[in-house]
């Protein structure tokens, strides 16, 4: 069982402790509180210290709980801050602003506060006097260009005219707030500082290790952003490159990675950098020959052998190469038109397994320049599209794909043929499954198949990735209310559906096919404004060649889509002989 030291303390008790030696570690995110948060904190503390704006209404037994401070003692004996960085940094700025103001005040209470605060900001010597050369807090945040401004403010109490950091702005906000308080309530200032030191409570939680501290943090609410797995990984890279004397270059490379990941990845869970590491993890899993379908968490996987995988130039270079690949996929450049069309269709896959498969395939097959053979890429994209889409009819979740996919990932990195030979489909069986499947709009595979069908037409041009596509009922639901189909199931059949740009925005009132045709083709509205039609070639063709779209047309088109997809499985070697 993990050991924890938990002891509620006032700000004064925590910071004036001779053993207090806090470190904001390299993997933390930069300080993010702005003046809005500082103003809220100031207002809350003032309301607590002076109920009804009267210092005499204060009960010295009252307490204001500011929040937890989660730390662990690192190998240097310093308290690395896992949770509480934002509030502790802000408190230090506030106390430094008070310290400067009390320096010029000679009354007994102010002199006492000046001395007490000094023991919270600076370490003390053996006689209990503040050592102005040793702060109680330090920052090594790798991605924070302004951390030296924070430390300089604490040391000197000065803000240079050219400084624009959040540290400088917040410190100046507290200076102005203290000055305003002194002008409006001159007798309050010493009481305010005393009540902050003595009655504002923090909950320091000291864990026995970084892992324990991180687990505690994951269960706590915090005003800031929680540390991600990638933040922890960053610290391992940082230490490795620092030992090589290349710290600054690493910081530049890491910031570029973060910016790139943030621009293209939109994960449902975790950060964009976590997503990049997840895609990389599958490659490293395959290289290790791991077939186990129980997938470790990111942190558990990369922490093996004391993060050995991340203490290397190779891993960082791999991550950079992988990100550049996905930038090309997202931006739709750097590939042949036929490959881009396949990639677009995969963008509508029913789950994200394709991104892991393709990441493994790219890293295993790229040239020294990060390029891929187009013929091999096109074959692979068709293969995984066919397999993943067909598999989703019976087992739509990403977890179900682990059994067939993980062995193939190993085949990829060992440069063996990828064929899914142990998971091929029987033609009659998969056809029957498609025919009996209810393709409701809420099922992801519905849009997947419709996107595949649209691009099965060789004349279909590439659609921008930023285009929002919706599912269109060609025989409208509103029409079915007036003219019901003989078979109710045909309303949700594949043959009655197509992908359509959201911008086309067909009015519900225009439910007849004859009304819809103008939206498919484009028209000039009553104000003389041109309304462009759809870029979906099949819908434009239907509008030009058909006067109506009937139940018979739905059934005929359904059979055509299903038959074509089953043939597509055969073309990719996924049907049993």
What is the reported pLDDT for 436? 94
* 343 and 455 part of one domain: no
At residue 262, φ and ψ (nearest 5 deg) are: -65, -30
DSSP string for residues in 49-84: HSGGG-GGG--TT--EEEEEEEEEE-TTS-EEEEE-
Pairing between strand 22-24 and 79-83? parallel
- Are residues 248 and 162 part of one domain? no
Average pLDDT, the chain: 91
Q: Pick the range with the lowest mean pLDDT from 43-47, 213-217, 241-245.
A: 213-217
Residues 457 and 495 in one domain: yes
Question: What is the predicted pLDDT for the residue at 216?
Answer: 67
Is 239 in the same domain as 323? Answer: yes
Percent of the chain with pLDDT over 70: 96
Q: Is the dihedral of CA 434, 436, 439, 442 positive or negative?
A: negative
Same domain, 415 and 454: no
Mean pLDDT of 39-67: 91
Q: Of 176, 192, 218, which marks where a domain is finished?
A: 218
Structural domain harbouring 38: 4-218
Q: Are residues 296 and 238 in the same domain?
A: yes
Give the per-residue pLDDT at 508: 67
The answer on 127 and 24 residing in a single domain is: yes
Does a structural domain hold residue 430? Answer: no
For residue 223, being part of any structural domain is answered with no
pLDDT for residue 413: 98
pLDDT of residue 222: 44
Res 1: pLDDT = 42
pLDDT at 223 exceeding the cut of 50: no
Mean pLDDT within 29-33: 89
265 found inside a domain: yes
Note whether 409 and 458 are same-domain residues.
no
282 belongs to a structural domain: yes
Q: Is residue 55 part of a domain?
A: yes
Q: How many domains does the chain have?
A: 3
Instruction: Answer yes or no: do 213 and 233 share one domain.
Output: no
Report the pLDDT averaged over residues 333-338.
97
| Reported confidence tier of residue 419, pLDDT bands at 50, 70, 90 | very high
Final residue of a structural domain among 218, 252, 268: 218
Residue 577 lies in a domain: no
Of 161, 183, 218, the residue at which a domain comes to its end is 218
List Cβ neighbours of 295 (8 Å cut-off, separation of 6 or more). 285, 402
Asked if residue 263 has pLDDT above 90, the reply is: yes
How far is the C-alpha of 472 from the C-alpha of 8, rounded, in Å? 60
Q: What is the pLDDT of residues 249-260, one digit of tens each?
A: 998 899 899 999
Question: Would you say residue 426 lies in a domain?
Answer: no
> At a CB cut-off of 8 Å and minimum separation 6, what does 505 contact?
519
Does residue 414 lie within any of the structural domains?
yes
What residues pair up with 524 in beta bridges, in sequence order?
A: 530
Closest CA to 10 of 98, 72, 79, 95: 95
Residue 169 buriedness (CB in 10 A; 0-12 / 13-18 / 19+): middle
Q: Are residues 488 and 520 in the same domain?
A: yes
Are 94 and 174 in the same domain?
yes
* Pair (358, 497) in one structural domain: no
């Amino acid at each position: 069982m993990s050991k924890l030291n938990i002891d509620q303390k006032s700000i004064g008790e925590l910071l004036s402790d001779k053993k207090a030696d806090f470190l904001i570690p390299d993997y933390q995110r930069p300080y993010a509180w702005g003046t809005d948060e500082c103003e809220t904190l100031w207002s809350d503390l003032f309301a607590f210290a002076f109920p009804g704006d009267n210092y005499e209404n204060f009960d010295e037994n009252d307490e204001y709980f500011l929040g937890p401070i989660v730390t662990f003692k690192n190998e240097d004996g310093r308290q690395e801050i896992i949770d509480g960085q934002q509030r502790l940094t802000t408190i230090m700025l506030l106390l430094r602003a008070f310290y400067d103001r009390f320096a010029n005040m000679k009354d007994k209470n102010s002199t006492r506060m000046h001395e007490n605060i000094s023991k919270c900001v600076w370490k003390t010597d053996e006689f209990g006097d503040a050592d102005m050369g040793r702060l109680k807090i330090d920052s090594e945040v790798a991605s924070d260009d302004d951390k030296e401004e924070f430390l300089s403010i604490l040391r000197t109490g000065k803000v240079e005219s050219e400084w624009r950091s959040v540290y400088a702005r917040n410190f100046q906000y507290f200076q102005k707030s203290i000055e305003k308080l002194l002008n409006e309530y001159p007798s309050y200032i010493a009481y305010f500082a005393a009540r902050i030191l003595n009655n504002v409570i923090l909950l320091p939680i000291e864990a026995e290790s970084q892992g324990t501290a991180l687990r505690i943090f994951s269960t706590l609410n915090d005003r800031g952003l929680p540390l991600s797995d990638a933040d922890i990984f960053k610290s391992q890279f940082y230490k490795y490159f620092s030992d090589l004397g290349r710290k600054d270059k690493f910081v530049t490379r890491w910031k570029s990675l973060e910016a790139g990941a943030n621009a293209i990845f939109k994960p449902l869970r975790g950060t964009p950098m976590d997503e990049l590491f997840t895609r990389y993890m599958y490659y490293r899993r395959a290289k290790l020959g791991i077939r186990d379908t129980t997938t470790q968490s990111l942190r558990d996987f990369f922490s093996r052998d004391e993060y050995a995988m991340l203490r290397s130039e190779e891993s960082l270079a791999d991550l950079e190469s992988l990100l550049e690949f996905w930038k090309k996929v997202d931006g739709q450049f750097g590939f042949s038109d036929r490959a881009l069309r396949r990639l677009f269709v995969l963008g509508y896959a029913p789950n994200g397994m394709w991104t892991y498969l393709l990441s493994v395939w790219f890293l295993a097959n790229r040239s020294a320049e990060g390029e891929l053979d187009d013929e091999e890429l096109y074959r692979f994209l068709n293969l995984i599209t066919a397999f993943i889409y067909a598999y989703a009819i019976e087992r739509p979740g990403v977890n179900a794909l682990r059994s067939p996919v993980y062995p193939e990932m190993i085949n990829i990195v060992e440069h063996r043929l990828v064929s899914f030979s142990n998971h091929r489909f029987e033609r009659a069986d998969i056809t029957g499954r498609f025919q009996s499947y209810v393709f409701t709009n809420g099922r992801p595979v519905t849009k997947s198949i419709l996107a595949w069908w649209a691009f099965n037409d060789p004349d279909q041009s590439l659609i921008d990735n930023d285009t929002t596509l919706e599912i269109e009922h060609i025989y409208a639901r509103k029409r079915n209310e007036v003219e019901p189909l003989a078979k109710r199931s045909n309303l949700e059949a594949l043959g009655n559906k197509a992908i359509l740009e959201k911008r086309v925005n067909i009015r519900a009132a225009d439910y007849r096919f004859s009304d819809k045709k103008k939206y498919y083709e484009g028209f000039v509205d009553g104000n003389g404004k041109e309304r462009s039609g759809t870029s979906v070639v099949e819908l434009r063709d239907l509008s030009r060649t058909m006067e109506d779209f009937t139940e018979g047309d739905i059934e005929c088109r359904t059979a055509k889509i299903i038959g074509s997809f089953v043939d597509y499985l055969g073309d990719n070697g996924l049907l049993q002989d």
